[in-house]
Amino acid sequence: MADRFFITTAIDYTNGAPHIGHAYEKILADVIARYRRLRGDPVFFLTGVDQHGQKVQQSAEKEGVPPQQFVDTITARFVALWKKLDVRYDGWAATTAPSHRAIVRAILQRLWDEKDANGQSRWLYKAKRSGYYSVRQEQFLTDKERNASGEFGEEWGEVILLEEENYYFRLAEHREWLLALIDRRDDFITPPFRRAELRNAVERLAGDLCISRPKSRLAWGIEFPFDRGFVTYVWFDALVNYISFAPGYEPTPGADLREFHQWWPALHVIGKDILVPAHGVYWPIMLKALGFTDEQMPTLLVHGWWNISGAKMSKSLGNTVDPDALADRYSPDAVRYYLMTDIVTGKDADFSEALLVARYNSDLANTLGNLLNRTLNMVWRYCDGILSDGAAEGDALAEIRQAAENRIRAYCAELGSGSLPDRTAASPGARFQIASALQQPIGLATTCNEFIDKCAPWKLAKEPAGRGELNAVLFGLAESLRIVAILLSPVLTRAAHGIFDQLNWKMEQARDEARFHLSDASWEAGKRLPNGHQLGKPTPLFPRIEAA
């Protein structure tokens, strides 16, 4: 049976327009999901928007519109962007959805109702706290937050003295358990270098998590089921999306979760800024409270950030990059390709429009576009567009076939062929090295271009004795292009169809993602282009982008 994949991303805050960082994460998850579908694995890809909170409430007030209207407008921009960028998800997590609100409330009630021997909730308690509070960052400050001169720096904005009663979720008592989990489950966090960072944070874990805000201060949230004076604040709302929108989850203790566990544990694709403490500390402890076993904890795929000239991208600095405008200027495929090739999964990278153009021109316009164009032109010029001798072997053809097979193997090695999470294998069954994986089809296209120069089909065409070899060479090129299209299809969602269309292959599935299967990336009879196959006409697929 194929392995099921439940893939999620962070849900994006709806207090501002989407930027290239949001787009990167969604495309990364989309490519992983598409790769898994290409393998034939059942996939459920969940993404969405985080719609509650103080910032939204304030922005809506400023604009003089109700918060729901405010988030609906921003949400529509995210939805339109994912459509434009071909981010294809199966579930949409919007935290104002009534179903989500109901599950968050049921979970709070469940944790409140689970009493210890003294009749106190095992997980939650109410307590009064007073001290310095940062209005901008919405948190109490301790002496740790003071700078060298003993003050709270500008980053905290206005700091006031505040006394407030709130609900807390017990964290500190789970420290040893969490440390043991991190040590024992080496697939809990990937890439592995993030593990030490989390471990250090857990070792320092002291306090508990404040999970409420009095309604007088924050109205735009999910009301506590057992205390109407409070709404739940940030993480008990946002993190729960990963289960509330998963197929088959029920918050009631003892519920039948068989359907849910066909999908869960999830792969959470998140940025490095929300590993500690949210996803690495709060979330596993919340799941533990809900009865999840150690084996049922998710895998966190932690990606790096896109920066601008080494600096953080931010609305206040005014240096954010708009993915929507980029897709209009260069095409969605160009944006997807750049974001997947110019970064190592897990590391940071610098965004540069000039590099986007350079990479497009070199890999797609020159290497791949040229190969497609030259191949089709030659098949039309010398053979009326018809491939023959599909089964022909010969040294030249054997060489190109070997190259293709090696490339397919290397591609799969970079992306993984095992299940996820793979609790038994020493090395993880799923890898996420998209940039290295993409070097394989592009490398194959380069090899094919060199092969053309070496075999000089134009010379073979002039000699009657060269016919057989000419046919074999042209077949090998067309067949390689078919394989390149399959391997690129998770990233180049449109161009992969363009290549198949020009090869006149599987036309009955034009524009359908199901057109591509990894198992078709093979020269075996029945998979390969058949003898006598008629190719389509060449049309430029990747016109060069000229510098403005």
Residues in contact with ligand MSP by CB under 6 A are: 10-13, 21-22, 24-25, 50, 238-239, 241, 270-271, 273-274, 305-306, 313
Q: How far is the CB of 12 from ligand MSP (least distance, A)?
A: 4
Residue 189 phi, psi (nearest 5): -130, 135
Q: Is the CB of 270 or the CB of 481 nearer to ligand MSP? A: 270
Q: How far is the CB of 48 from ligand MSP (least distance, A)?
A: 9
Q: Is the CB of 59 or the CB of 121 nearer to ligand MSP? A: 59
Q: Is the CB of 321 or the CB of 413 nearer to ligand MSP? A: 321
Dist. CA 547–CA 245, nearest whole Å: 45
Dist. CA 194–CA 3, nearest whole Å: 26
Q: Is the CB of 290 or the CB of 386 nearer to ligand MSP? A: 290
Helix axes 434-455, 332-341, angle to 10 degrees: 110
Q: Is the CB of 238 or the CB of 518 nearer to ligand MSP? A: 238
3-state SS class at 85: coil
Query: Residue 145 is encoded by which pair of tokens?
Result: 């937050």
Dist. CA 367–CA 445, nearest whole Å: 6
Q: How far is the CB of 203 from ligand MSP (least distance, A)?
A: 23
Considering only CA atoms, give the Rg of the chain: 27
Q: What angle do CA 285, 279, 349 make, to 5 degrees?
A: 165
Q: How far is the CB of 358 from ligand MSP (least distance, A)?
A: 21
Q: How far is the CB of 104 from ligand MSP (least distance, A)?
A: 12
Residues 6+ apart with CB under 8 A from 503: 478, 481, 482, 485, 529, 535, 536
Single-letter residue type at 17: A
3-state SS class at 464: helix
Q: Is the CB of 352 or the CB of 373 nearer to ligand MSP? A: 352
Q: How far is the CB of 264 from ligand MSP (least distance, A)?
A: 15
Dist. CA 506–CA 515, nearest whole Å: 7
Provide the 8-state DSSP code for 365.
I
Q: How far is the CB of 196 from ligand MSP (least distance, A)?
A: 19
Q: Is the CB of 10 or the CB of 434 nearer to ligand MSP? A: 10
Q: Is the CB of 326 or the CB of 408 nearer to ligand MSP? A: 326
Dist. CA 474–CA 25, nearest whole Å: 39
Q: Is the CB of 21 or the CB of 457 nearer to ligand MSP? A: 21
Q: How far is the CB of 24 from ligand MSP (least distance, A)?
A: 5
Q: What angle do CA 442, 446, 450 make, to 5 degrees?
A: 165
Residues 6+ apart with CB under 8 A from 444: 403, 404, 407, 480, 483, 484, 487
Q: How far is the CB of 59 from ligand MSP (least distance, A)?
A: 14
Quick one: how far is CA 371 from the chain centroid? Answer: 30
Of residues 120, 227, 118, 121, the one with CA closest to residue 165:
227
Q: Is the CB of 45 or the CB of 523 nearer to ligand MSP? A: 45
Q: How far is the CB of 54 from ligand MSP (least distance, A)?
A: 13
Dist. CA 235–CA 233, nearest whole Å: 6
Alpha-carbon distance values, 364 to 200, 276, 369, 504 (Å): 43, 38, 6, 20
| Contact predicate 448/369, CB 8 Å | no
Q: Is the CB of 271 or the CB of 280 nearer to ligand MSP? A: 271
Task: Give the residue closest to ligand MSP by C-beta.
Answer: 271
Q: How far is the CB of 25 from ligand MSP (least distance, A)?
A: 5
